[in-house]
Chains A and B, each alone.
Chain A
Amino acid sequence: MNMPDKPKIGFYWCASCGGCEESVVDLAEDILMVAGAVDIVFWPVAMDFKKSDVQAMEDRSILVTMINGAIRTSEQEEMARLIRRKSKLIIAYGSCAHLGGIPSLANEFERAEILKYIYDDAPSVINEERTRPQTEFRHNSRNITLPEFRNMVRTLDQVIDVDYYLPGCPPTPKLLKQAVLTLLSGELPPKGTVLSPDTALCEECPRKDSKPTDLSFTHFTRPHMILFDNTKCMLAQGLVCMGPATRAGCEAVCINGNMPCSGCFGPTSRVRDQGAKILSSICSNMHSNTEEKIDLVLDEIPDPVGTFYRYGLAASLLRKKIVEGQLEDDK
C-alpha cells in the first residue's frame, strides 16, 4: 500500500460530530480517484493508527492533513501541534475547525457551568459523590491521566498555524474534490485562503430574483411554524436566512431542500463577524421606527446567538462569555 512516489495525506478529527469524516466518504466513486492519487497515511476514523506512528514520521513528510473539529481539550491541542509538525500544509476542514462550529456555542457558558450540568444536573445523571473528571489519578498503583477540558472552545487557527480552510458543515464533496485537485496541481492559492467563492450565498441562490428590494421586516417566523412558499426568498417570508452574510460555494444546498441558510460556510473574507453583519443588515431593514415595536419583532427570534453565530462563535468578536477571574485559567 505504501507507495513512496505518491503524496501523503492525512485526516484527523478533534471536537466534531463525525459528519466531516462522513463527507469524505460522500465523495463516492471519486474517493477512488483520491485514493489512487495519494497515499493516506493517517486517518484514525477509518484505519488503525497510533500517536506513536505519527511521532515516528519525518517532520513535514505529509503533504497535507485535513483536521476537522474545534479544539477543546489538551489532547486535541497536542495532536494538532504534532500533526502541524509532520505536515507541509494544514487544512482546517469544516465549520468546527474553521470557525469553532456548533461546539463553540458552548462558549456561551463557563466551564464550571458545563461540568455541573453534565455531571450533576442533567436529568439522566445520578452522581451522588459529585465526581468530576480529573486530569490525573492513581489506580492500582498506576498513574492514570485524562486530557484537560479547557475553559473555551477554539478554532484550529487559534491553536496552530493553518494554511487553508474548507468551509461547511460539512464541506461539500465538490469542494473537497476541488481542493484535493488544486493541492495536487501544485498551484497553491495564497496562504489563508478559504477554498470557496468569496461572495455571499445570494449570488448562487435559486430564489435570488424573488428577493424584494425593501424587506421591511414586520415579523419573524421559523420553518416549523408556517407553510411557506418554496420558490420565494426566505427572508421575504420572515424566515431568518443567513444567506446574505454567508460565503457561497455550497450551491444553496439547504435552500434547495427548502430550508433557510444557517450560515455554516462562515463570512466572506471581508467580514470579521458574521453574526454582527447579518444583525446589522436585518436590524436596519426593520419596518418599524420605534424601539418598542422593533424589540417585539426581534423577540420572535428565540435564540439570537444560536441563530446568528451558530457555526462561528469561537471565531467571532464575541468569542466567549467572560466571567470575572476566568480568563487566566485558560492556558
Chain B
Amino acid sequence: MFSTNGNNTPRIGFYVCHCGHNIASLVDVEEVRKYVATLPGVVVSRDYKYMCSDPGQELIQQDIKENKLNRIVVASCSPLLHEHTFRVATEKAGLNPYFFHMVNIRENVSWVLDNREIATEKSKDLARAAIRRVFFHKPLEKKTVPINPAVLIVGGGIAGIQAALTIANAGKKVYLVERDATIGGHMAMFDKTFPTLDCAACILTPKMSAVKSHPNITLWTYSEVEKIDGFVGDYHVKVKRKPRYVIEDLCVGCMDCIEACIYKEAKYPDEFNQGLSKRKPIYIPFPQATPMVVLFDPETCIDFKSHRCKKTCIEACDRDAIDLKQVATYENINVGTVILSTGFQTYDAKLSPQYGYGKFPNVYTSLEVERLVNASGPTGGEVITRDGKRPKSVGIIHCVGSRDEKSHKWCSRVCCMYSLKLAHLIKEHTGAEVYNFYIDMRTPGKGYEEFYDKLMNEGVHFVRGRVAEVTDWAIIPEEEQKLTIRVEDTLIGVVRRIPVDMVVLAVGMEPKDDASEIRRLFNISCSNEGFFLERHPKLAPVNTFTDGIFIAGACQGPRDIPDTVAQAGAAAAECLSLISAGSIELEPNTASIIEKYCSGCKSCIPLCPYTAISFKEDIKKAYINEALCKGCGTCVAACPSGSILQNLFEDDQIFSEIDGLLKFAGIEPEKKEVLHA
C-alpha cells in the first residue's frame, strides 16, 4: 500500500509557507528556502504563498513523483491546524504519511518575534532540526478502533437533558449521571425565562419527565463519576450511587413519610429555595423533582445522629421503601463518548462586602429573587422581604462578581438580561419602583434589545454607574429604615443616593468549586478562569483535547439557556457522528516494549495513565496494549533500560532534532578525537 522508503537514502522535499503575510512579513522565506537547499539530504526546497491551498499540496505531490522524494518537511503553521492536511497530501502521492514532518514557524516564530533577522535565523534552525529528524522517520500504519454507541452524560441541567434526549431519540443508549437528587439544574429554579417570559417549569419539566421515562436513558441521580479510563470509543466508567436511604425503585413519591417525620415543623434550610424556606430531614428537593423520590439528609436526621428516633417515617411507608442502612453502590459501564455538562455556580455575594449581602437582611441575590417570584417558591410568588414587607422600591445591582478586577474579569453574559426580567417580574408582582444600576447594558441576542426597550417603556429606571456601596446609614429622613444605594450616575456626572426597600445583586457565573477535580478526572483542560477549555473556540467549540469527550453548557463558560441548548445539541451531534461512523482512526504514535530487552523491572506499569501496561507473568516482561496506549510517552521516558520505543518519538529522531537545534547555539555535536594507525 505504501512505498516503504525506510532504509533508502533520504530525498527530502522542503517547503516554506508565506502564510500570506503571517509568516513572510517577518521571516525572510527566500533565505530560509535557500539555506535549507544546502543541507544534506535536501533535494527540493521551495517557498510558496499558501502551502495548505490545493496548489500548495499539489506542489508536494508533484515533487514526490517527479523527484522521487521520500521525506517531506513543511515549515508553516501549527501542526494542530494542518499536520493532517499535509499528511493526507503526502499519502495521496503514494508516500507513507509519517514521512512528513511539520515545522511551526508561525505560532513559534513570526507571531511571537518582532525582529526579522532573529525570526529568519530561528526559522532556519527549526527547519534544520526537522531535516535532521526526518532521516530517522519510519513508515507507520494507523489503527482503527470501534466506537461503543453508548454515551455518558455528566450533569443533568438543561444542557445534559437536551443532549440526552437528542441522543436517545436517535436510538442510542445514554447514561445520565446527576450529582443532586434531581435533574433540572439551575433552570428548574427559575420562574420565567427571558426574553419571551415563558414559564421555565412549563418548558423544562416535560423534558425532565421525558428523560425519566425514555427507554434509551438510564438516569442515575444522586450519583457521581468516580473513575474513568480507556479511550475514545471505549471508556470504562465507575459511577458511585450515593445512598438516599430510600429505595428508588420502591418509592412512588407519595411523601407520607415526610408528613410522618418526627419533626412536625420543617426546621432546616431548603437548598433548592436558597435557604428562604425550611425542609425536614426527609424531603424532596421540589415538587417536580425527577425522579420523584424522597431522600434523607443524614446530617440532620435524628436517627443518624443518635439512633433514638421512633422512625415514624418507616411506619408511614407502606411500600417498605426506606432503608436507613443503605450504603453507596457502584455501577460499572462502558461507553464510547462522554458529554460533560456540569454547569456553573453563582458568585458568592459575600465576597463583595460593600453590597451588604449577609449583613442587611433585605439584600438578596438574583437566585433568591428567582425563588421569591416563583409561584412554587417559598412565598408562593409573593415578593416579600425578610422583614415581611412588600417592597415599594427595589434596586438591582448589575455585574456583582463580573467585569471586576477584584473578583472576576469576565462578563457573565446573562446578568443584564435576567436583571431586566427580574425588574419586570418584581414590578409586575409588587408595583414597586425598580432601579437598574448597570455599567453597560449588554443585550445581544434574538429579541433581547427589544426586551430592553420594552422595560424602558414600562417605567423601570436605569442608572449607569458601578454602585459604590449599599448602606443603612441614613443621612436624610427619606433614607430612614431603608437601604441606600450610593452610586455615581455617570450619565449626569453626579453621585446619587437612592433609598430602596430591597436590593437585588445580579451575581455572575463562575466555574464550580470542584471543576478542576472534574477536569483532572476526565483528563481535559481548563482555561485561565477555570471553565473547561474547548479544543478550538470557533472550529471545535464543544470538543476537548481528549478525543471522545465533549462539553456543553455553562461548564465551558457563562451562557444563557438558548446558547446552552444549542451547544448541547452540538455536543450530541458530535457523539452521534462518531457513533454513526462506527469506528475511529487512532494516531500511530503509540509505545511498544522491545520484549527481548525488557528486564521485567516493572517501573513502567504503575505510571501508565491509561492502564495500558501489564506484566506477563509467564515470561516476566511488561506488555503494552497498543489499543489503550495514547502515546503520552511517560513509560518511554521512565523505562530505565531504554526498552520502550514510541513511534514518531524514537531516541534517534528526538536526539537528531536536538542536535540540529544545538548547532545554532554554537555547540556542535560532540566530535571524537580519532587517531587511527
Residues of A within 8 A of B (CB): 59-60, 81, 84-86, 157-161, 198-203, 208-209, 211-216, 243-245, 248, 267-272, 277-278, 280-281, 284-285
Contacts and interface: CB of A to CB of B under 8 A. Distances in A.
A285 B606 contact: yes
Interface stretch (B29-37, B101-109, B146-154, B632-640): B632-640
A268 B677 contact: no
B406 interface: no
Measured as residues with beta carbon below 8 angstroms from the partner, the interface class of chain B is 20 to 34
A80 B599 CA distance: 35
Nearest to A248: B599
B620 to A, nearest CB: 7
Query: Which DSSP category, helix, strand, loop or mixed, fits chain B's interface?
Result: loop
B641 interface: yes
24 contacts: A60-B677, A157-B672, A161-B674, A198-B597, A199-B596, A199-B598, A200-B643, A202-B600, A203-B600, A213-B615, A214-B606, A244-B599, A244-B640, A248-B599, A267-B641, A268-B641, A269-B642, A271-B640, A271-B641, A277-B642, A280-B640, A281-B603, A281-B640, A284-B637
A216 B677 contact: no
B302 interface: no
A306 to B, nearest CB: 18
Given A200-B640, A285-B606, A270 B597 contact: yes
Contacts of B603: 215, 244, 281, 284-285
Contacts of A285: 603, 606-607, 638
A281 B639 contact: yes
B642 A243 contact: no
Query: Which 5 residue pairs spanning A and B have beta carbons closest together?
Result: A270-B642, A200-B599, A245-B640, A200-B641, A244-B601
A161 B674 CA distance: 6
B677 A84 contact: yes
Interface-centre pick from A60, A271, A272 (highest chain B CB count, 10 A): A271
B675 A161 contact: yes
B605 interface: yes
Interface string B665-677: 0000000111111
A84 B599 CA distance: 35
Interface-centre pick from B601, B620, B673, B675 (highest chain A CB count, 10 A): B601
Contact of B599 (A157, A203, A267): A203
A238 to B, nearest CB: 16
A215 B601 CA distance: 11
B597 A268 contact: yes
Nearest to B676: A161
Contacts of A81: 675
B602 interface: yes
Given A199-B641, A201-B599, A84 B675 contact: yes
A248 B638 CA distance: 18
Contacts of A272: 651, 655
Contacts of A60: 677
A14 to B, nearest CB: 15
A133 B439 CA distance: 81
Interface-centre pick from B598, B600, B643, B651 (highest chain A CB count, 10 A): B600
Contacts of B634: 284
Given A85-B677, A244-B601, 15 more contacts: A160-B673, A161-B672, A199-B596, A200-B599, A202-B601, A212-B602, A213-B605, A214-B605, A215-B603, A244-B599, A270-B641, A271-B640, A277-B640, A280-B637, A281-B640
Contacts of B641: 199-200, 244-245, 267-268, 270-271, 277
A83 to B, nearest CB: 10
B642 A158 contact: no
A271 B641 CA distance: 6
B606 A215 contact: yes
Nearest to A208: B600
B599 A160 contact: no
A216 B606 contact: yes
Contacts of A198: 597
Nearest to B614: A213
Contacts of A268: 597, 641-643
A85 B620 CA distance: 46
Interface in B601-630: 601-603, 605-607, 615, 620
Contact of A270 (B607, B615, B643): B643
A314 to B, nearest CB: 12
Interface in B652-666: 655
Contacts of B640: 200, 244-245, 271, 277-278, 280-281
A211 B675 contact: no
A203 B602 CA distance: 11
Contacts of B638: 280-281, 284-285
A319 to B, nearest CB: 9
Contacts of B596: 199
B88 to A, nearest CB: 33
Contacts of A281: 603, 638-640
Given A200-B640, A208-B620, A270-B643, A159 B673 contact: yes
B610 to A, nearest CB: 15
Contacts of B615: 213
A60 B603 CA distance: 46
A281 B603 CA distance: 6
